């Protein structure tokens, strides 16, 4: 099964570290406003989802959301969440860590895209 969002081992390790501090968390792919196009990590309930937000999947058992208008632009790609050195975006829980989340992408092949279109 093709997943719309996945995570590297580095990202999963950072997720576990943040969960130990903050408990239940969620991700939202930022659309480029204040902190660029970064995966934002929030304590569950601190970011209110709207009717236009869609669940792309989960990474490390953590839900990962994106606004539908941004999804329309990214629908041909798989998001690969990674972690790298440095502080994260100001409003994200990784902003005070020594590592932060970043998004890489993989453009789906025609076959992968046909399979993934069935998921939403």
Domain that holds residue 68: 5-117
pLDDT per position in the chain (120 positions), as tens? 889 999 999 999 999 999 999 999 999 997 765 555 789 999 999 999 999 999 999 999 999 999 998 898 889 999 999 999 887 777 888 888 888 899 999 999 999 999 988 876
- Into how many domains does the chain fold? 1
What is the enclosing helix (H) or strand (E) of 55?
Answer: strand 53-59
CATH of the domain at 40: 2.60.300
**pLDDT tens per residue, range 30-51:** 776 555 578 999 999 999 999 9
Strand order in the sheet with 25-29: 39-43, 25-29, 62-67, 53-59
What pLDDT is stored for residue 50 in this prediction? Answer: 93
């Amino acid at each position: 099964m093709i997943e719309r969002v996945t995570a590297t081992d580095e990202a999963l390790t950072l997720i576990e570290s943040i969960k130990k501090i903050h408990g239940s968390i969620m991700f939202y792919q930022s659309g480029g406003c204040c902190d660029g196009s970064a995966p934002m990590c929030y304590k569950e309930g601190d970011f209110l989802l709207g009717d236009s937000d869609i669940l792309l999947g989960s990474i490390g058992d953590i839900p990962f959301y994106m606004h539908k208008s941004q999804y329309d632009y990214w629908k041909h790609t798989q998001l690969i969440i990674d972690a790298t050195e440095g502080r994260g975006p100001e409003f994200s829980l990784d902003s005070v860590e020594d590592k932060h989340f970043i998004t890489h992408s993989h453009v789906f092949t025609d076959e992968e895209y046909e399979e993934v279109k069935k998921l939403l």
